[in-house]
Every structure is written in C-alpha cells, then in structure tokens.
Amino acid sequence: MGGVRRRKTEGGRPVSFFWFPIEHLPVIILIMLIAFTVHEFAHAWTAWKFGDDTAYREGRVTLNPLAHLDWIGMLFLVLAGFGWAKPVPVRRSRFKNPRLMSILVTAAGPLSNLLLAFVFLFLIHLLSALNVFDHASIDFLNNLVTFVNYWMAINLALFIFNLIPIPPLDGYRIVEEFLPIRTRIKIQEMGQWITFAFLLIIFIPPLRAVTISPLMSLRGPIWDGMNNILNLIF
C-alpha cells in the first residue's frame, strides 16, 4: 500500500480515506487476518472431516492466511468497512447427510468467530483474575483495551454479518437447504441483482443505518452476555 492519503480537514482533524483510524490500522489488519483465516479454515476443516476433501486438496485446511486471503476483499474492508476472503469450495454430494452436514459446514465459519471472541475474552478475564495487569503501565492498558475492543467488534461483526440470509453469505447457504428447488433456482437467477442491491445497502449510509447497523448493534448484548458468564466463573 502506498502513502496514506488524506481528505480535507474536518473540524480541525484530517479525515482519512480509510474506514478505521490510521493509527489503528496495524492492529485492525492483524485481527482481520486472524478472523478471516480462522473463519475459512473452519469451513474447510469441517467439510474435510465430513468426507469432502475438495478444500483439503486445494490447500485450504490450513491456518496460513495466504491460503485464504483475498487482497481486493481485504482492501475493501480497510477502506469501506466491508470485505471478504476466498470462498471455500465445498461439494455437498460427498457428504453422507448432505443437508445436515452442509448446514454444519456453513455454520462453522461464523461460529468460529464467535468462539474466537469468547476464548479471547476468557483469557482476559483469567489474566485479570491472576492480577497480571496490576502493575501494567497506563499506555499498555490503553493499548490492550483498544486491541480487545477491535478483537471483539470484528469477530462479533463477522459472526452476525455472515448469518444474514442473503446470497452469497453463510446465512443464505443455511436457509437454502430448506428452500424448494424452484425457489433456489429463482434466487440463483437473480443472484447478481440481489448481491448488487445488498452492496448498495452496505455502502449507502442511510440504507445501512436502518438495516446493517441495527444488526451490528447486537454485538453489545452478545458481548455483555459473555462477560456475565465469565463473571460467574471468575
């Protein structure tokens, strides 16, 4: 990526072309790489364990980010707050129970991000209970809070966003298993238009504010629920 470009100043502060604060980009990119990699790995690994080795043969059953990274999707995520990784190839005909196993393979991706959020929060609670942070500097604690906030926000966003039942998201792949064949065919025929309309919703702020944003607000209750569970443990 070239030099950082800036827009005109707003309220005395330069506005970046990036969706996120420039100073936080290294942390955000690191978290995104981990979140996307684990998400796609979960799809590939689950499919492999259920009998479909398509993703395995293509080198997707790995935690190497380069195997899953889509550079254009990553760029869009940094610039616009919306992006994607390489889709994992799955042949449902190789499953013993195609419908059930397809649903589980599809759900594995979003659930992996939910698990990442919970496990990381568990570690923070554990370290706090062990008084590890008692003598930490203010700068370290501030940086830790920033990292935790982004880690939770990004992973919970991927969990919620991917469950939206609109193609080509995971949520639609789950719902698709229960749709009549005729309905599936019609949706496939309109696939490009549905995707285009969905992109408009994402990138047009007024539309995003009344559709995607309310869904993203669910991150707060989920995060609070995790904290409540962990507070009972610690």
Nearest to residue 78, comparing CAs of 38, 110, 40, 33? 33
How buried is residue 137: exposed, middle or buried, by Cβ count under 10 Å (0-12/13-18/19+)?
A: exposed
How buried is residue 147: exposed, middle or buried, by Cβ count under 10 Å (0-12/13-18/19+)?
A: middle
Active site (annotated) includes residue 40: yes
Residue 7 DSSP symbol: E
Report how far Cα 9 is from the mean position of its chain's Cα atoms: 31
3-state secondary structure of 15: strand
Residue 89 DSSP symbol: P
Residue among 23, 40, 176, 177 flagged as catalytic: 40
What residues act catalytically?
40
